[in-house]
Amino acid sequence: MTKKALVIIQDGIGDRPIESLGGHTPLEAAKTPNFDRLAEKGICGMMDPLSPGIRVGTDVGTLAIFGYNPLRVYCGRGPIEAAGVDIQMELTDVAFRANFATVRDDGLIVSRRASRIREGTSALADALNEIRLDDGTEVIFRAATEHRAVLVLRGDKLSHMVTPSDPGPDMEGDRVLDIKPRLAQSAAARKTARLATEFAVRAREVLLEHEVNKERIKKGLLPANYVLLRGAGIKKPMRSLAERFNIRGACVVGESTVKGIAKMTGFTVISDPAFTANLDTDIVKKAKKALEALEDFDIVMMHLKGPDIASHDNNPAEKLKFIEAVDKACGLIISESEKLGGLVFALTGDHSTPCDIGEHSADPVPVVISGPGVLKDGVCGYGETPCLSGGLGRITGNQFLLSILDLTDVTYRFGS
Amino acid sequence: MTKKALVIIQDGIGDRPIESLGGHTPLEAAKTPNFDRLAEKGICGMMDPLSPGIRVGTDVGTLAIFGYNPLRVYCGRGPIEAAGVDIQMELTDVAFRANFATVRDDGLIVSRRASRIREGTSALADALNEIRLDDGTEVIFRAATEHRAVLVLRGDKLSHMVTPSDPGPDMEGDRVLDIKPRLAQSAAARKTARLATEFAVRAREVLLEHEVNKERIKKGLLPANYVLLRGAGIKKPMRSLAERFNIRGACVVGESTVKGIAKMTGFTVISDPAFTANLDTDIVKKAKKALEALEDFDIVMMHLKGPDIASHDNNPAEKLKFIEAVDKACGLIISESEKLGGLVFALTGDHSTPCDIGEHSADPVPVVISGPGVLKDGVCGYGETPCLSGGLGRITGNQFLLSILDLTDVTYRFGS
């Protein structure tokens, strides 16, 4: 019988020593008796999502712990978002991340996220999905969470080598950028830049007249009158986990990027309106869904965005509190899963996000793998410092997942 | 605010246990309270310049800790020496390391280094720089330190795939070798071998008649009457550190190969006649220059050749003594740099050179990274044995530099 595996992914879990926590990290300072129990019964180590010294985004870090080599399969953020909203991309499509924004006629951005618009975006997206471009290139436009959306261009000879119109999150108040080919000599890149610009112009016309925006203006809200584009990318062929190892995977998640990656890699996404991709997510419900999923799936990933959110807000106290709540949910899983027997239970993150810098870093992520067949290394706590001397040593995100799959006896030999 | 970084590179620092030192290495046996303080406050580990088990030269090891993958950018020693003497190579040039030598008419080498000639080499080089080859290929010849010089051939269809005329340092007393194409089928290699041979013949004519040599003979010194060639290489395109991370780097150094690599990679070279690339170098002055450089630069490398020189001389006592002197200078930097705040301070070497074998080895190099944001791993001394259990684990030269840059928060994300 193959064993089952459960992996808790705490986004941005790794941190650096923090003065206000007595020189400890939030994970070290937090009371985590359940994590520590897993550490004590299992093997610990430090995980570099890609390679020591390389900072990664959530997309690349998550691809790595889902067992895919980001250097081979990473294709830009657009296609991940497209997978997240269930657009079946073709290999010739180009996908963009899109934001509903508020932009003045002169191009000045009033709000990059249309004041974080939440309501009416589906109706807006439906209207934009009707746009037909002059040369017949097909438009697929779909709303994602809050102000986010996805644009896919489907047609001949398109390229993802184009620049964004979105000046980025640090540039609030700046102007819309011209979309340009990244390779001036590429006819496909020039064509894609032209089509994306044409879409933006048409989209503005549609949005200015849209009922949702008229209502927003009446209510004194900023209208979502522009679509900012970025993260152009193409789909790369990827074999699902089932194809590679003949196993079924599920991902319990609220966050859209991780949802997209889960879908791209053949995981079944288990979500719920209570999974907010924020600090107010329902952690206990996630744990229960993960336990349920273990009945039907061979490997279950449970993703929590909270630690990353608190870290970006430079808030170690909030990070610590969230971690303690995850630890409690972990205790629930431990006591319930004892009935299952043979569970390989692992703890990780997609990357580190030190609260002091409020940004992702290349600091390796502490990890634990616990369960039958695992050597104990003498490390008795889950934290950055204890894991430094863990028996796993220093491994990559891919190696972490493969080690778990190996313990569940679903992998196969290289050689004979 | 980004933090600044200082890296002390002790050439050939790593060693093996030595009987005369009670089974300790020179670094372990040396009294190094300042290095140990950095280790205690920081994180330690073992660094393989390229990969475990691979012996490297100073050129390859230095490229690695300057953040470049030698497998991609290494191009032979000639181009590094050319950069060291400020020759701006073109991508079609071939560069050779050159030695002024004393050679008899029958080709027997009397002295591979013309008794380590120090004076008059610029005048000799100027004369050789005037040589015009039959087919119009341009000659650029420039003196380097002591008996060393650089030859660059500039013309059409040249190749670096040619053998040396220099039989090498272990072959003193042997004969000048014929320069041959390494690929017989390559017309460019055949042409380059022919041109390099033509240069050597012309150079001998010029040198035999040169005033500097007539003076030397009068004084009873060996004449520099021949130019031995080796290390043919081409330039590979390299993005500078400033281009990659938008930071300014400086290298405090006396040794010519490291100077060349620093220049190739966009570091500003800070040198001084007192920096001898030997055991008599002015270590304190180097430390002061490094401290000064920290005001203007984001990362400063301070290179010391001493440990490698002592190791090649099979002299552990001398190596130990030099290391203790570097430790004292390190103490000066520590006390001065406390004013700076936020300094990431690291210790490394370009490779190991065990005194017992008097040759580079693949033994990994002990390293320390200390400063704000660094996890402490419990290692309290800088030495091969304590660093074996360091929290950095076993990393490569590239990973070592990237980890330092990550701590100074100048790196960027892969992914979003």
C-alpha A322/C-alpha A284 separation (Å) is 12
Cβ contact, residue pair A50, B414, below 8 Å: yes
CA A315 to chain CA centroid, nearest Å:
21
pLDDT at A411: 85
Indicate the residue of B376, B409, B416 with minimum beta-carbon distance to A77: B416
Cβ contact, residue pair B373, A17, below 8 Å: yes
**Phi–psi pair at B6, nearest 5 degrees:** -130, 130
Average pLDDT over residues A369-381: 96
Cβ contact, residue pair A16, B373, below 8 Å: yes
- DSSP string spanning A75-108? --HHHHHHHHTT----TT-EEEEEEEEEE-TTSB
Average pLDDT over residues B173-183: 92
Residues of B in contact with A393 (CB under 8 A): 393-394
**How distant is the Cα of B9 from the closest Cα of chain A, in angstroms?**
19
Cβ contact, residue pair B401, A362, below 8 Å: no
**How distant is the Cα of A22 from the closest Cα of chain B, in angstroms?**
13
Name the residue of chain B whose CA is nearest to A62's CA.
B415
Which 8-state DSSP code applies to residue B19?
G
Cβ contact, residue pair B401, A53, below 8 Å: yes
pLDDT at B242: 81
Of B410 and A96, more confident: A96
Cβ contact, residue pair A356, B378, below 8 Å: no
Name the residue of chain B whose CA is nearest to A169's CA.
B416
Pairing of strands A249-252, A268-270: parallel
Q: Say if residue A36's pLDDT is above 80.
A: yes
pLDDT at A289: 98
Q: What is the ipTM of this complex?
A: 0.88
C-alpha A48/C-alpha A65 separation (Å) is 10
C-alpha A270/C-alpha A289 separation (Å) is 8
Nearest to B84 by CA among B251, B278, B261, B236: B261
C-alpha B346/C-alpha A7 separation (Å) is 35
Q: Say if residue A386's pLDDT is above 60.
A: yes
Average pLDDT over residues B42-51: 98
Position B241 confidence tier, pLDDT thresholds 50, 70, 90 = confident
Q: Say if residue B119's pLDDT is above 80.
A: yes
Name the residue of chain B whose CA is nearest to A49's CA.
B414
Nearest to B252 by CA among B272, B279, B225: B272
Indicate the residue of B373, B396, B412 with minimum beta-carbon distance to A55: B412
Q: Say if residue A2's pLDDT is above 90.
A: no
Position B188 confidence tier, pLDDT thresholds 50, 70, 90 = very high
Cβ contact, residue pair B375, A16, below 8 Å: yes
Mapped onto helix, strand or coil, the DSSP state of residue A40 is helix
Read off the pLDDT of residues A162-190 as tens digits, 9 standing for 90 and up.
999 999 877 656 899 999 999 889 999 99
Residues of A in contact with B377 (CB under 8 A): 385, 388-389
Cβ contact, residue pair A17, B416, below 8 Å: no
Q: Alpha carbon of A71 to those of A56, A60, A234, B50: distances in Å?
A: 11, 9, 14, 20
Name the least confident of B157-171, B216-230, B306-320, B324-338. B157-171
Q: What is the overall mean pLDDT for chain A? A: 94
Residues of A in contact with B373 (CB under 8 A): 16-17, 354, 356-357
DSSP H helices, A102-236, are 121-129, 187-208, 211-218
What's the sign of the alpha-carbon dihedral A38, A41, A42, A45?
A: positive
Position A221 confidence tier, pLDDT thresholds 50, 70, 90 = very high
The A-side interface with B (CB below 8 A) comprises 16-17, 25, 46, 50-61, 70, 74, 77, 231, 354, 356-357, 359-363, 384-385, 388-389, 393-394
Indicate the residue of A53, A57, A393 with minimum beta-carbon distance to B413: A57
Q: Say if residue A369's pLDDT is above 90.
A: yes
Do the beta carbons of residue B17 and residue B25 sit within 8 Å?
Answer: yes
Pairing of strands A343-348, A365-370: antiparallel
- DSSP string spanning A340-393? T-SEEEEEE-SSB--TTTTS-B-PPEEEEEESTTPPP-S--S-SHHHHHT-TT-
Name the residue of chain A whose CA is nearest to B379's CA.
A389
**How distant is the Cα of A400 from the closest Cα of chain B, in angstroms?**
16
Q: Say if residue A367's pLDDT is above 70.
A: yes
Cβ contact, residue pair A53, B406, below 8 Å: yes
**How distant is the Cα of A311 from the closest Cα of chain B, in angstroms?**
14
Pairing of strands A94-103, A109-111: antiparallel
Cβ contact, residue pair A55, B389, below 8 Å: no
Nearest to B303 by CA among B366, B251, B339: B251
A402 is written with which tokens? 């493969």
Position A109 confidence tier, pLDDT thresholds 50, 70, 90 = very high
Beta bridge partners of A363: none
Indicate the residue of B375, B389, B413 with minimum beta-carbon distance to A360: B413
Name the residue of chain B whose CA is nearest to A50's CA.
B414
pLDDT at A171: 66
Q: Alpha carbon of A240 to those of A235, A345, B68: distances in Å?
A: 14, 22, 35
What is the signed CA dihedral for B68, B72, B78, B84, rounded to 10 degrees?
A: -20
Do the beta carbons of residue B190 and residue B184 sit within 8 Å?
Answer: yes
Cβ contact, residue pair A389, B394, below 8 Å: no
Do the beta carbons of residue B193 and residue B161 sit within 8 Å?
Answer: no
C-alpha A152/C-alpha B416 separation (Å) is 19
Tokens 């005048």 belong to residue? B123
**How distant is the Cα of A205 from the closest Cα of chain B, in angstroms?**
30
Name the residue of chain A whose CA is nearest to B402's CA.
A53
CB pairs under 8 A between A and B: 91
Q: What is the overall mean pLDDT for chain B? A: 95
Q: Say if residue B62's pLDDT is above 90.
A: yes
Q: Alpha carbon of B335 to those of A151, B7, B330: distances in Å?
A: 56, 16, 9
Residues of B in contact with A359 (CB under 8 A): 409
Cβ contact, residue pair A393, B391, below 8 Å: no
**How distant is the Cα of B298 from the closest Cα of chain A, in angstroms?**
17
**How distant is the Cα of A351 from the closest Cα of chain B, in angstroms?**
11
